[in-house]
């Protein structure tokens, strides 16, 4: 069963070699409503940890030319916050490890100044002026001001299981690990962005929470998820459903497994598992990404001995951002990592019964979290 909650996989994972060459992050995304107009607006908040064993009282930035020259690797807590839409932005606030209070065991918590994250609470602020954003390209961010005070409850999990997200007794097995403790998460509270206030309520937040950790990023990098789903068969909202797809090109002991995805659909209480690491399912995956002048599109086809899921998603470029991270070695590998929170699309879900495909449902999905990026590994 993939809907198996396990907060030990949400704990701090940078042990052993990953303390010197690793990253760990907790990602949160959700939709809020403008307090004045009621309009939906999607937001994200992330706590990103890098190379804690190299830490100092002040952050070390891998993108500074002098650090490139000396081979100094990045080390910091980065609080990333922002929004999607035509006024999309990503704001970064950095802390040196001497100013971070970390509770590494489950249930985790991390605090720095007024920024705090745990299994049930998110609060903090980021403020970057236009002058600071221009003067500090190593911060890799935009200008703006955002504050948040949120509570969260992780309702449905995508526990991808042993191998793809096990606790790091063997830190070198996979380059990038993933655990979605809250692929459906209920958020409540408020956001203030550039002086405008937004409210967050469980019924309309369409929330998501996961974590990734490891020594490097996957390429290609794929993520699609939503719990704002409507059955085309009945016309009714699917209030106990969520899908989640992630991966791309995982590496096991530095050997790439080309074009593999982890996928799951919790459909009104029934599990449809498309996890490539479960060999007994005989998962077959095809995925394509297309980029035009105005939009980006994903097509994913996942098949097992039991079921078939076809997912088609599109998102307008004007609503997306190119999300920025630097790798633990100090390189910035992904420079066109498309990232959005208001994609839309269709999922067709089938079961295999007595040698035939039987459609379970065709589902309309909105408020889709979506991501795609790829880089030339020969040049990284």
pLDDT of residue 257: 53
Q: How far apart are the first and last CA of the chain?
A: 37
pLDDT under 70: residue ranges of the chain: 162-174, 248-259, 377-380
pLDDT of residue 47: 98
Written as six digits, the tokens of 374 are 């790829």
> Are 253 and 216 a contacting pair, CB within 8 Å?
no
> Are 25 and 194 a contacting pair, CB within 8 Å?
no
pLDDT of residue 175: 76
Written as six digits, the tokens of 206 are 């369409």
pLDDT of residue 162: 55
pLDDT of residue 380: 47
Say if residue 332 is exposed, middle or buried (CB neighbours under 10 Å; 0-12, 13-18, 19+): middle
In angstroms, rounded to a whole number, what is the distance separating the alpha carbons of residues 165 and 271?
19
pLDDT of residue 377: 67
- All residues at 6 or more sequence positions from 137 whose CB lies less than 8 Å from its CB, including other chains: 63
pLDDT digits (tens, 9 = 90+) for 229-267: 999 999 999 999 999 999 865 544 444 455 578 999 999
pLDDT of residue 253: 46
> Are 369 and 208 a contacting pair, CB within 8 Å?
yes
Q: Hey, is 335 helix, strand or coil?
A: coil
pLDDT of residue 247: 85
pLDDT of residue 165: 47
Say what the pTM is.
Answer: 0.95
Supply the mean pLDDT for the chain: 93
């Amino acid at each position: 069963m993939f809907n198996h909650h396990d907060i030990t996989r949400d704990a701090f994972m940078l042990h052993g070699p990953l303390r010197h060459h690793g990253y760990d992050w907790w990602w949160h995304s959700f939709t809020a409503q403008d307090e004045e107009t009621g309009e939906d607006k999607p937001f994200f908040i992330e706590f990103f940890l890098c190379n804690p064993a190299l830490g100092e009282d002040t952050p070390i930035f891998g993108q500074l030319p002098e650090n490139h020259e000396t081979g100094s690797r990045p080390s910091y807590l980065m609080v990333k916050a922002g929004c999607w839409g035509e006024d999309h932005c990503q704001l970064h606030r950095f802390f040196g490890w001497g100013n971070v209070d970390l509770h590494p065991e489950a249930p985790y918590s991390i605090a720095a100044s007024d920024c705090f994250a745990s299994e049930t609470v998110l609060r903090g602020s980021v403020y970057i002026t236009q002058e600071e954003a221009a003067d500090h390209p190593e911060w890799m961010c935009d200008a703006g001001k955002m504050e948040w005070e949120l509570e969260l409850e992780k309702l449905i999990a995508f526990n991808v299981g042993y191998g793809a997200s096990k606790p790091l007794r063997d830190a070198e097995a996979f380059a990038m690990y993933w655990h979605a403790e809250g692929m459906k998460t209920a958020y409540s509270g408020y956001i203030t962005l550039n002086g405008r206030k937004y409210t967050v309520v469980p019924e309309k937040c369409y929330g998501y929470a996961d974590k990734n950790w490891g020594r490097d990023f996957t390429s290609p990098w794929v993520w699609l998820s939503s719990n704002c789903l409507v059955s085309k068969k009945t016309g009714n909202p699917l209030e106990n459903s969520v899908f989640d797809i992630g991966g791309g090109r995982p590496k096991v002991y530095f050997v790439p497994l080309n074009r593999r995805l982890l996928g799951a659909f919790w459909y009104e209480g029934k599990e449809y598992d498309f996890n490539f690491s479960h060999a007994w399912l005989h998962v077959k995956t095809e995925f394509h990404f297309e980029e035009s002048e105005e939009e980006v599109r994903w097509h994913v086809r996942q098949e097992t001995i039991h079921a078939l899921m076809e997912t088609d998603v599109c998102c307008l470029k004007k609503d997306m951002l190119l999300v920025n991270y630097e790798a633990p070695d100090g390189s910035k590998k992904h420079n066109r990592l498309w990232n959005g929170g208001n994609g839309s699309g269709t999922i067709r879900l089938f079961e295999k019964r007595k040698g035939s495909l039987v459609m379970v449902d065709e589902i309309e999905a909105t408020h889709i979290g979506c991501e795609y990026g790829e880089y030339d590994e020969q040049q990284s």
